[in-house]
Structure 1
């Protein structure tokens, strides 16, 4: 049996002052500022996981020959820590993030970090940097947590690395929609695919995001906020955005989302929405959805709302789908449709402790 990974703590001597931290928390943005500490641990073949540390945030030293730089053997996760009204700090479904990271590791031939160690690493960092968690408010602020793992062995050869580094960093995050919920416009990509059959689409690895950027630039050039990718085989079925899953609300009360095919990332927010849908009078449905069903459904009124979901934005209403030669507007109202808003609010109320956590989704960190 593998021994649990423990984390020693070395406090930063250059931690931000209360004044500087307060100034950052007043306008944190997203992914621009980082807390005073980070978590690191090492895995070596034959020894397993060891040398767990909470240490001052700073550069990681890697060899120019580090395998990750040449063969992209890496995975990551994204989650948040939320301040509740009583001052405690919680995170949302960390077991799902740990399980997804384990699946990603298996696909990328990386060692699996046990769930208990994954959650222990998150807890250790939040305990060290608890003042960085924004105060409880109605502004949807949080501390974004980024666990990641990469092949750090200095070796030029195509094989699984014999040395791997795991780390967690944290960044205070402001509201994704500071001016109120706003629909996004999407460009339909027909020249690019995010992932293919048998590939790494179901893993949360950087290569999937890198492959989405060319399509994203195409969408921006067309005046859109994000891009929709189709399956790589037939270019017929809807998959996801560059980093968000899609949902469709129908007039008969169904909540449809593309079925997981191995090339779609299984989002934690996606899974949670499917679970709470019946509470809101909706019938969840996972199935393959053709792009023409989207276009025709909006035109006929069969589809009443479309939204995307993910950790950063939680739920984002979709305003319009555009493609070469046409478009389909899909959201009622500037702030999204009624179902979209109710799902988003239900999730936020659980995450921030404003509603009872009847499913045991929240884990206390501090």
Structure 2
């Protein structure tokens, strides 16, 4: 069974995922955009047969097995909902939505109609991350006591750019922090407490964010995301009998190193196919062929948990944000 995809959106991530779909032998049959010319150009670039000048037309195409929603964060909820209402299975680019309420709305709709729905957290399907989960479940480092992850990049400040624009779901937390939050959730589950310090940009979105999560087991997660400086983009998982270093960048690693007390380090490596999205596409195909409406590797409850945590982080940081804003000039410029 060849999986037939529709791609909703024509931006950078839509392009690289389409390339990986074709590399994996999937069929990309349609693309949708708000601009007919943009849709036609994208279709011509990738040899796609049908180009729609509206998202509604793509959602209504019942020849598609699944639609990939690759638009900016703020439109994930309405466009994914439109596709689900039309009876389409949906893969939604991360973050799943910009708030927990919208995420729960999509989950309820998909489950109620028996439709496949998944957040495109491609890191979960990376073979090195799959190996990491296996090592942890086998008890190779004992009980997890700490998770460290950071994802920060240097972006020039532009209030019109989606990363800096509140109306487009901007900020480090939703764009980069979800990787670190999902990584911690994958290993430790839903946290029992969440604290944060946030340095805001002049537009009000978070520009540099530190997160501390606590768990009933006594474990902690220390996470960082930001838009002001390049970080190592590293991750480490610490257990009672050893620790695992995940190769950088941790969201697309090709190796990890297992350290155990009084034992030689062990290195595991894996080749990454294409841009790294092939493994995600293969999991979607496996689920569709098996008639599953959720992926056990990226369950919807995990996506809900991550957004709940992100919301808690934002709420806990209100006082810190207000204090920083009082010291931040209101004029635009590099934060």
Please give the range of the TM-score, normalised by the shorter of the 2 chains: under 0.3
TM-score scaled by structure 2? 0.27
Higher share in helix: 2
Which has the larger share of strand?
A: 1
TM-score, normalised to structure 1, is: 0.25
